[in-house]
Chains A and B, each alone.
Chain A
Amino acid sequence: MLKYIVKRLLLLIPILLAVSVVVFLILRLGEGDPAMSYLRLSNIPPTDEALAVARTALGLDQPLPVQYAAWLGKALTLDFGRSYVTGNPVLGEILYYLPNTLKLAGFSLLLTLAISLPLGIWSALYKDRLPDHVTRVLAFTGVSMPSFWLGFLLVWLFSIHLKWLPPMGMGTMSHMLMPAVTMSLMSLAINTRLIRGNMLDNMHARYVLYARARGLPERVVVGRHVLVNSLIPVITAVGMHVGELFGGAVVAESIFSWPGVGRYAVSAIYNRDFPVMQCFILIMTTIFVLMNLCVDILYAWLDPRIRLEGGTRQ
C-alpha cells in the first residue's frame, strides 16, 4: 500500500512538468499581451516605448525557452514569480486566498453529503411514492440549473426580498450558506440519484435476501449491508465533486464576492497575469491528483475485494 502511494506521488512530478509546459505555451502563444494589459490597468497609453518598458519590467523580452527555464528554475524552489498586477509573490497570494476557498469547498462537500445521503436513502426506500417524486424533481432542478443563475436567484430571494442572509462577503456562517448551496446543488442532485440507484440495485442482491433469511431486522439489513455497499460508487463521485466544487467556486466566489482563490484566478485571467494563472493551474492539478489518490485508497479500505496494484491489502 505504502509503495503504491509513493509511486503515485512520484507520478505527480511528470504530470506537473507536462502541465506546466502546456500551460506556459498556451498562455504565451495566445493573442494576448500582458504588457498591454498592464498598461491598460495603469491607464497609460500603450505607446511602443511604454510597451517596451513594461515588457522588460515583466521579463517578457526574453525568448520563450529562456523564460520557461527561468520560471522552472525558480518554481523548483517554490518561487512561482511575482504577479504582474500586484507585484507580490504569486504563491503567497494564492496561499492567502486558498484557505477561504477550502473552507467554502469543505462546507459545500459536507452539505452535499449531509443532504444527498438521507435524500437518496429516503427516495430509495419509498421508490415511486411521494418522497421519491419529490427528490426526483429536486434532482432534476439541481442538475439543470446553471450555478450562476441559482446564485442570483438565492440572492434575490434570501437577501433582497427576505433580507435573511448577507448577499456577499465572508465572516459568519450565514455568509457561507448561499455560496455553498450554489456550489453544491448540482453535486447534491447527482449524488442523491446515485445513492438511490445503488440502493435499489443492492436491495435486490442475493446477500440482502440471505440477510433477511437470517432474520436480521430491516434496520440492520438496510443500514449495515445495503447502505455500505451502495456508498462505494459514491466515493468516486465525491472525488469528482471535489473538482467540480473548485470549478464551481470560481462562479460562486465571483457572485458572492467571496475572497477565495477562484475569484483571484478569474481576475488574473482578465488581466493576463501569467504567473498567477500558471501557479493556480499547478496547484489545482496537484489537488486533483491527490484527491484521486485518496479515492483509490478509500476504495481499497472500504471494499476488500478491490486490491491495489502491486500489493495485497494491508
Chain B
Amino acid sequence: MRTLFRLAFATLLACAMLLPVLSVQSAHAADKDTLTYSWASNVGPLNPHLYSPSQMFAQALVYEPLVRYGKDGTVQPWLAESWEISPDGKVYTFALRKNVTFSDGTPFDADAVKKNFDAVLRNAESHDWLEFIAQIDKTEVVDAHTFRLTLKNSYYPALQELCLIRPMRFLSPSAFPDDGDTGKSIKAPVGTGPWKLVEIRRGEHDIFEANENYWGEKPKFKRLVVKVIPDSDGRAVAFDTGVIDLIYGAGGHGAGQIGLDTFRRYAEMPGLKTDVSKPLATRNFALNSKRFPTDDLAVRTAILHGVNKAAIVKHIFLGVEPQADTLFSPNMPYCDLGLAPFTHDLEKAKAGLEAAGWKTVAGSEYRMKDGKELALDLCFVGNDSLQKTVAEAVQGDLKRLGMKVRLVGEEADSFYTRQRTGEFGMIFGDTWGAPYDPHSFCSGMRVPSHADYQAQLGLPMKEEIDRAIGEVLVSVDEDKRSELYRYIITTLHEQAVYLPLSYMTNIYVHRPDLTGVDFGPTKYEMPFDSIGRQ
C-alpha cells in the first residue's frame, strides 16, 4: 500500500514540475506581423446591410462608406471623391473614386453602389429607425463613376447618415446571393476596406488579413486576430499575460472593454500607454416634465443644482469620463452654444424650492407642498453597477435638499420599457453619439417610444420644439439650421429636462511597442490600420 502511495505522490510531484514546461511563452501576442485584440463575441457573418450578430467595429474594418465622419464632426470624401447637392437639397450626385476594387478584385463602380442601395431598400422595413433610408426616392447610375441619389424631401443629415457603419456600406457584387436579397444572407463578407475576414472560429477568435488590393494606405500589420473574451476581467488578465496587445473601446463593466477601475490601474502603471478619447456621447438623466413632482420647473432646476457631478465624476467615473454640463458635448456639430452650466449650489437649489412653495416640515426629512411629499422615482438597470452607484450618489445629494429619491433598479428590459412608456421620475439615458448627435437624437425626441419624448411631454413648448426639429432636418440653409438647433438645445437646457452627467469616451491601453494607436472619430471606428509595432 505504502509503495502505491509513494508512486502516486511521485506522479503528482512530477506533474507539478512539468507545469513550467507547458508554460505560456507561446501564448505571447508579440508577433511582428500580428495585432491581437479582443471582443466580447465573435464578429459575426459581417453582412454589411444587417445588424446583430455582426459587430459594428468589424463591419467598419471590411466595408467602407461613400463619405466619412471626420474627427472634427465634418463629412469627408471617402469612396466618393466629391459630391454635389441640388439647390432644393433633394438630388445628390456622387463622383466615385476611381481604381478602387473590392478585396476579391471586383471593381467598385456606380453599378456596385446602386446594387447595394437597392438591396438595402428592398428590406427598408428593417431600417425603419433610420430616416435617411425612408427618404430615398431613386437611385441611378449616371456613368461608371457617377452615382445619383434622389430624396423624397430635402433631408440635410443624409450625408451624416451615409457615414454610418450600417446599413449603407458596400458589398462586392460577386458576394451577393443569387436572388440578390442581402436581407437574408450573403455569400462572403467582401468589401473595399483595409481588412479581409479570413477565419472564424466560434467562441475562440476571428482572423482578419490586410487587404493587399486596398486603394488607401495599407494596414501596417498583416494580420489582426480578434480573440473572443466576454468578460472584462478576463480581458485584463489576457492583457496582463500578453495574450492580447491592445485594449480599445468603451470603458466600464458590462458592454465596456475593461472596468474604469482597471483602466485607472493601467493608467498609473509605468511602462504602459493609455489614453482617453474626446467626448463621444453624453450620459444623462432625463427628468419627466409630465409627472409629479418633476413637472415643476423649480424641482427640475433644484435637481440640476443639487447633484454634485464633480464628485460623481471623480469618485465613480474615476476621471475617465469628463463632467458633462450640456446635453451634447460642445465638440458636436451645432452644439458649441456657450450655454451657462447649472453649477452645484445647494443654497440656490433650496431657495428655488422654497420660492416654489416646497417647504420643510417639522418632523419630516422631506419637503412638502399642498400636503404632498417631494418624492420621485429614479430608474436604473439593477445589475449595472455603475448606474447603481451613481443612483445612490444622486439619492444622497438630493436628500440634502429635502427631496426623497426612491431607487428603482430593474432588469434591462423592464428599464427600457419604462423609457418607452414614461413611467419614471428620473431615468438614465445616453445620447447616441457621433455621427448621430445632434440630428438623429433630436429626431428621436419626436417619437413617443423614446424616453426623451416622454420626458419633454410636459413642457409648454413641446409642440414648438418638435416643429423646430422637423424643420431643422429638412432645412437647406446652414444659418437657419444653426438658429433652429440653438433654439432646440437652449430651450431643453433652460427647461432643465436633462441632467447631463458625463461625456462617454473610448479608452485604450497598450504596451509601448505598439505605435500609431489613436482614437477613431466615432465609437466603433477603430483605426487598426494605422497601428504598427516597433
Contacts and interface: CB of A to CB of B under 8 A. Distances in A.
A259 B52 contact: no
Given A38-B52, A40-B412, 10 more contacts: A31-B410, A42-B51, A57-B126, A160-B237, A169-B204, A174-B19, A218-B1, A259-B201, A259-B203, A267-B41
Contacts of A51: 449
A164 interface: yes
B240 A272 contact: no
Size class of B's contact patch?
A: 35 or more
A152 interface: yes
A43 B56 contact: yes
A85 interface: yes
The 8 closest A-B pairs by CB, nearest first: A259-B203, A42-B51, A174-B22, A41-B52, A42-B52, A32-B413, A166-B27, A118-B8
A33 B417 CA distance: 9
Given A155-B237, A163-B24, A223 B1 contact: yes
A83 B12 CA distance: 44
A118 B5 contact: yes
A165 B23 CA distance: 5
Interface in A272-314: 272
A185 interface: no
Contacts of B49: none
A89 interface: no
Given A49-B128, A167-B241, A169-B204, A254 B227 contact: no
Contacts of A263: 203, 230
Nearest to A38: B52
B230 A254 contact: yes
Contacts of A160: 237, 240-241
A172 interface: yes
Given A97-B203, A257-B229, A263-B230, A158 B19 contact: yes
B128 A47 contact: yes
B411 interface: yes
B246 interface: no
Best-surrounded residue of A97, A155, A169, A255 (most CB of chain B within 10 A): A169
Contacts of B413: 31-33, 36-37, 272
Nearest to B414: A31
A47 B449 contact: yes
B256 to A, nearest CB: 15
Interface residues of A, number: 64
Per DSSP, are chain A's interface residues mostly helix, strand or loop, or mixed?
helix
Contacts of B95: none
Given A32-B411, A166-B241, A86 B44 contact: yes
Interface string B1-39: 100110010001000000110111001000000000000
Contacts of B233: 152
A166 B243 contact: yes
B234 interface: yes
Interface in B136-189: none
A168 interface: yes
15 contacts: A31-B414, A33-B417, A44-B129, A47-B129, A159-B240, A159-B241, A162-B20, A167-B240, A167-B241, A167-B243, A168-B234, A254-B230, A254-B231, A257-B238, A259-B202
A197 interface: no
Interface in B83-133: 125-126, 128-129
Interface in A41-83: 41-51, 53, 57
B53 interface: yes
B17 to A, nearest CB: 11
A37 B432 CA distance: 17
Contact of B449 (A42, A46, A87, A255): A46
A219 interface: yes
Contact of A165 (B22, B228, B417): B22
B220 interface: no
Contacts of B204: 169-170, 259
